[in-house]
Amino acid sequence: MLYGGVEAGGTKFVCAVGDRQGRILAERRFPTTTPEETLSQVVAFFRHASEAYGLKFSAVGVVSFGPADVDPESPNYGEIGATPKEGWEGTNIAAFVHRALRLPVVFDTDVNGAVWGEARWGAAQGLRTVLYITVGTGVGGGAIVEGNLLHGLRHPEMGHLIVPHDRVRDPFAGICPFHGDCLEGLASGTALALRWGRPAEDLPSEHPAWSLEAHYLALAVTSYILTLAPQRIIIGGGVMRQPILLPLIRAKVPRLLGGYCPLTPMERYLVPPTLGDRAGVLGAIALAIDAAKRR
Amino acid sequence: MLYGGVEAGGTKFVCAVGDRQGRILAERRFPTTTPEETLSQVVAFFRHASEAYGLKFSAVGVVSFGPADVDPESPNYGEIGATPKEGWEGTNIAAFVHRALRLPVVFDTDVNGAVWGEARWGAAQGLRTVLYITVGTGVGGGAIVEGNLLHGLRHPEMGHLIVPHDRVRDPFAGICPFHGDCLEGLASGTALALRWGRPAEDLPSEHPAWSLEAHYLALAVTSYILTLAPQRIIIGGGVMRQPILLPLIRAKVPRLLGGYCPLTPMERYLVPPTLGDRAGVLGAIALAIDAAKRR
């Protein structure tokens, strides 16, 4: 049997066909355009894969950008909420895929997908409480708590955490349309590019941007530790590609904790994703496997 | 059958005998002195109750101040960690009670006890993801996430959350021995008393202390919402007895969220405990009932 995975991003979609062991048999990436065009490509990919392998799909997992309705009890399960991404508000991705392919579709957030993928086949195997943070165009977080994906009331919005903003050291106002200087407003790739006048990938490791970036991310990581007590934190996303950044954060977090929470060595506690940019789509496949098992 | 509950506090202990419905048949409160004296009183209370009712106990739940080892797999399960409370570091409360009474003993944090009690018989019935915050001498938080008590790595330390400290408006340095101006350092009853020169209960509702206190607590509540997405937040503790405080926090949180997370009306979202100062001991009894069921 085959399992389908979709990572629906605001910029691009990733579709993959996987087996029970998380081996990827086929994969396709394409830019996010209109809902109709993009979702038709998703459906075409899976139809084609099914024919190519002569195998049926058991289920499809979709993990998506948000805000999104991830409550299986809700009539709008699978629907994108108020997003600035034009044309997508009100689009029900799960329902579209389900109707077209007549398969069970399970739906969650992109960050929950990533943490679920890392827990099954990556850096969080065997752990019961884990946090995944992504620092890219925006900032987001997903968590597994005592073995279950954290949903709560709709879903967390960890990227919008309040962090102390030192306006003397950093007069930049922040770019979050909701909060100004929340974590995403101060530390996302978008914020970095606007504050320093060039994209994050063009800022050399000796640039003062990175010390400030590490400061904000360490403050957030510390607050997440105090609130969620994860056994491990996985931190990924485009901004983390700057190699100096992770060591800087690792150095700051224990100082901010003030020795209060004894942690395993930071090199094993705060780690990059091992599934790279496939964490989300592999998490979607893992969710599909789980959904097929439950039936 | 009877179920025992113990809330072990740094200042006082509460012991109670309950039935399956959470009715309290007997209760005793006494000050926390040395471990030997205090725990002997706990044991004497339950022995006496067992004789008085002619009934046996199925199990005892103990919820405790921390830091505490709440991992059932740990060899030190039930033990108090590095606490400033003299004589208590290294005391294993659960083991003491278990040895003396020869009963199954289940052990958790005081704040997890309170949220478990409120979920069973109080303000959080029927909810899967709930947060309990107590603002007293210190600040602490316990949570249920998707139906399970949050433990993670040891247990959270939500009271030590990092909140922005406006030193212009509030030059008070904070009293946390670990972090200075973390939430507990700025907003605990201890901090209030030191900042304003008199205990919280003597500060009238028109005193500027309360607007500042609401500011810090609203910042923390907002960060907890963004991280944990609880379906409801219960907030109690001695400092919350000032009646102006809860309405002030309720007014500030939606502004801090910036309309980002749609909440039920704040009056139903951020609520006082309905079990009052019995939440902890009732949670301990609920844990004992669960433990007896599992056997």
Q: Does B139 touch chain A (CB under 8 A)?
A: no
Which residue from B minimizes the CA distance to A161?
A: B223
Over 90: is that where the pLDDT of A71 sits? yes
Over 90: is that where the pLDDT of B1 sits? no
Mean pLDDT value of segment A155-162: 95
Q: Note the ipTM here.
A: 0.95
Interchain proximity B152–A228, CB inside 8 Å: yes
Where, residue-wise, is CATH 3.30.420.40 in chain B? 2-110+277-281, 123-272
Could you tell me which CATH number the domain at B2-110+277-281 has?
3.30.420.40
Higher pLDDT, B258 or A163: A163
For residue A73, the model assigns a pLDDT of 93
Cβ atoms of residues B62 and B91 within 8 Å: no
- Per-residue H/E/C for A201-235: HHCCCCCCHHHHHHHHHHHHHHHHHHHHCCCEEEE
Instruction: Output the CA–CA distances (angstroms, integers) from residue A158 to A86, A112, B223, in the order listed.
Output: 23, 12, 8
Q: What is the pLDDT of residues B97-154, one digit of tens each?
A: 999 999 999 999 999 999 999 999 999 999 999 999 999 999 999 999 999 999 999 8
Residue A202 half-sphere exposure toward CB, CA atoms < 13 A: 9
CB pairs under 8 A between A and B: 141
Q: Give contacts of B76 with chain A, Cβ < 8 Å.
A: none
Mean pLDDT value of segment A63-67: 93
Over 80: is that where the pLDDT of B261 sits? no
Residue A1 burial by Cβ neighbours in a 10 Å radius (0-12, 13-18, 19+): exposed
For residue A83, the model assigns a pLDDT of 87
Instruction: Output the CA–CA distances (angstroms, integers) from residue B288 to A102, B3, B22, B38, in the order listed.
Output: 47, 6, 11, 21
Instruction: Name the least confident of A250-264, A277-291, B241-255.
Output: A250-264
Interchain proximity B154–A261, CB inside 8 Å: yes
For residue A280, the model assigns a pLDDT of 97
Over 80: is that where the pLDDT of A161 sits? yes
Cβ atoms of residues B70 and B111 within 8 Å: no
Q: What is the pLDDT of residues A40-51, one digit of tens each?
A: 999 999 999 999
Which residue from A minimizes the CA distance to B263?
A: A153
CA distance A190 to chain B (A): 19
Distance of alpha carbon A12 from alpha carbon B214, whole angstroms: 42
Which residue from B minimizes the CA distance to A157?
A: B226
Residue B291 half-sphere exposure toward CB, CA atoms < 13 A: 23
B123-272 placed in CATH 3.40.50.970? no
Over 80: is that where the pLDDT of A263 sits? no
Cβ atoms of residues B149 and B108 within 8 Å: yes
For residue B262, the model assigns a pLDDT of 63
Higher pLDDT, A155 or A143: A143
Residue ranges of B 156-215 with Cβ closer than 8 A to chain A:
156-158, 160-165, 176, 178-179
CA distance B156 to chain A (A): 5
Q: What is the pLDDT of residues A212-221, one digit of tens each?
A: 999 999 999 9
Close Cβ partners of A215 (under 8 Å, ≥ 6 residues apart): A252
For residue A253, the model assigns a pLDDT of 96
For residue B84, the model assigns a pLDDT of 82
Determine how β-strand A105-109 pairs with β-strand A57-64: parallel
Q: Which residue has the tokens 């007014």?
A: B251
Instruction: Tell me the pLDDT band of A66, cut-offs 50, 70 and 90.
Output: confident
Over 80: is that where the pLDDT of B87 sits? yes
Which of A175, A115, A174, A123 lies closest to A147, judged by CA? A115
Residue among A139, A144, A154, A160 with most chain B CBs within 10 A, to mutate: A160
Over 90: is that where the pLDDT of B231 sits? yes
Instruction: Report DSSP state, residue B141.
Output: E
Q: What is the pLDDT of residues B5-40, one digit of tens each?
A: 999 999 999 999 999 999 999 999 999 999 999 999
Distance of alpha carbon B220 from alpha carbon A221, whole angstroms: 15
Over 90: is that where the pLDDT of A262 sits? no
Interchain proximity A230–B153, CB inside 8 Å: yes
Mean pLDDT value of segment B282-295: 95
